[in-house]
Structure 1
């Protein structure tokens, strides 16, 4: 199970309204919490879900049966950039997958994160978005299922600004711009994506930070989050990410491509604070 505290900000809201309307928590999660009487005050007394609460009241939510199934990996150090009761933001190195594709894997970032969560008494950790194996940078992880539901929705609604820095092959002449090209699967190559009129809408905003002799450094902000979006969009312009050989980028010595998720910015749904992690 996983627990967190929450301070009521508006007079008159009920637990029922908070869970079902404001947070839109999953039906199974809400049902389990109701059956277990797992919403309590600071003395541990269960709270009636229909009783209006006063602003400033602090209550504790416990989500029963909230468990993740990752194997722990304590051998790799974890770089934490931000953490509270709801989320943890960590640095993902280039060359490491975000999550395992088989239950027996233990060499991905989520295995390292789960070792940290377990060591601190937690049982739940699930990534809110993902980064390609070759991409380094900031990754956001939920520490309980309600946070996972809310942040997933924020990603879908473009309420989390994701900023990247990329090194591109060649000289990109436009100083700034927006690439609005739909992206779909490449039917000739299962691992690749391509700009396709039948694909999903994909929008990338960019500005040039530096022009080098053979490459261009750009800052890119995602308005959508399609698979390989930045890599596909810049390859489509004829300037693939340096090292991204899947999309005809030039080779690098270490085999990694030069793309980093440098920052995440959002209004925290539980504290209402503006959070920037970089």
Structure 2
């Protein structure tokens, strides 16, 4: 369930859902059939009646549960949360979501446990992080938020920043890496720079250098699988711990790569929203 206050005069519920938010047909149909859009008194609204600016709406989703098994949420580090989304930290070494039904021990198992403790039953990740990568993941708390944030991600309107420790001394203080990325025909889970791959751009700047490594901040302009890992390896500076792409080994086997910042214009409030690790 979430609340929304209309910002335009004479907009109908139908227009808000179908035109402004472009919510999925299934979601719209279920909301209509279940009379899931109500006023402040809890009364169902006529979807075709124009509403004045400032009308307070309540959206309820009676049949929109997520199917993840609940796991312990004791150690879940939630950095940001509102009615629509939350951003929490995925530790390195665990998967973002289950690979098979009933699997536990992933980030989303912890998230759904947290959401259910608060009386909710829906949580779906907007993007993913590799198992060896740590950091911020954005999670939608209802189906309309999922649709809107998926669209923002697809359109490149969610800024995602990472910090990586890479092997060697990176001499260029900043730059951009423009290489297309495709599948590696010789390794099922590996990607490589390929002329026939999808276009990909990563911006970077050096933060500091050590005797055998360089710390860089990287920003994704596109979101290809393993993009930062592939790009940094291709220019001769693989992420430490990322042995798949020729990085040096780390004691714990995890990558020295952390998603540190998310920034976007919130589709429900219109405000620039930034979530950042300390």
Q: TM-score range by the shorter chain?
A: over 0.9
Give how far 1:10 is off.
Answer: 1.1
- In 2, distance between residues paired with 1:85 and 1:75? 19
TM-score by length of 1: 0.98
Tell me the residue number matched to 1:40.
38
Give the 5 Å matches for 1:43-62: 43-62=41-60
Instruction: Specify the SS of the correspondent of 1:63.
Output: coil
Tell me the residue number matched to 2:265.
267
Structure 1's consecutive aligned runs of 4 or more residues displaced over 4 angstroms after TM superposition are: none
Q: Which runs of 5+ in 1 are unaligned?
A: none
- In 2, distance between residues paired with 1:23 and 1:168? 41
Q: 2:247 aligns with which of 249, 267, 272?
A: 249
Give the 5 Å matches for 1:213-228: 213-228=211-226
Tell me the residue number matched to 2:102.
104
Q: Is the 8 A contact 2:167 2:214 kept in 1?
A: yes
Give the 5 Å matches for 1:158-169: 158-169=156-167
CA separation of 1:75 and 1:263: change in aligned 2, threshold 3 A: closer
Give how far 1:64 is off.
Answer: 3.0
- In 1, distance between residues paired with 2:222 and 2:31? 33
Q: 2:191 aligns with which of 190, 193, 198?
A: 193
Give how far 1:104 is off.
Answer: 2.2
Give how far 1:172 is off.
Answer: 1.0
TM-score by length of 2: 0.98
Measured against aligned partners, the alpha-carbon deviations of 1:50-82 in whole angstroms (never above 9, x if no partner) come to 111111111001123101110111265110100
Q: 1:211 aligns with which of 209, 212, 229?
A: 209
Measured against aligned partners, the alpha-carbon deviations of 1:141-179 in whole angstroms (never above 9, x if no partner) come to 000010000000000001100000001100111111111
- In 2, distance between residues paired with 1:148 and 1:238? 37
Tell me the residue number matched to 2:141.
143
- In 1, distance between residues paired with 2:235 and 2:125? 31
Instruction: Specify the SS of the correspondent of 1:231.
Output: helix
- In 2, distance between residues paired with 1:174 and 1:71? 46
- In 2, distance between residues paired with 1:193 and 1:223? 18
Task: Please state if 1:70 is matched with 2:68.
Answer: yes
Instruction: Specify the SS of the correspondent of 1:230.
Output: helix
- In 2, distance between residues paired with 1:238 and 1:191? 21
Give how far 1:238 is off.
Answer: 0.8
- In 2, distance between residues paired with 1:211 and 1:20? 51
Q: Which runs of 5+ in 2 are unaligned?
A: none
Give the 5 Å matches for 1:111-190: 111-190=109-188
Instruction: Specify the SS of the correspondent of 2:100.
Output: coil
Query: How many corresponding residue pairs?
Result: 276
> What root-mean-square deviation, in Å, do the aligned CA atoms of Structure 1 and Structure 2 show?
0.9
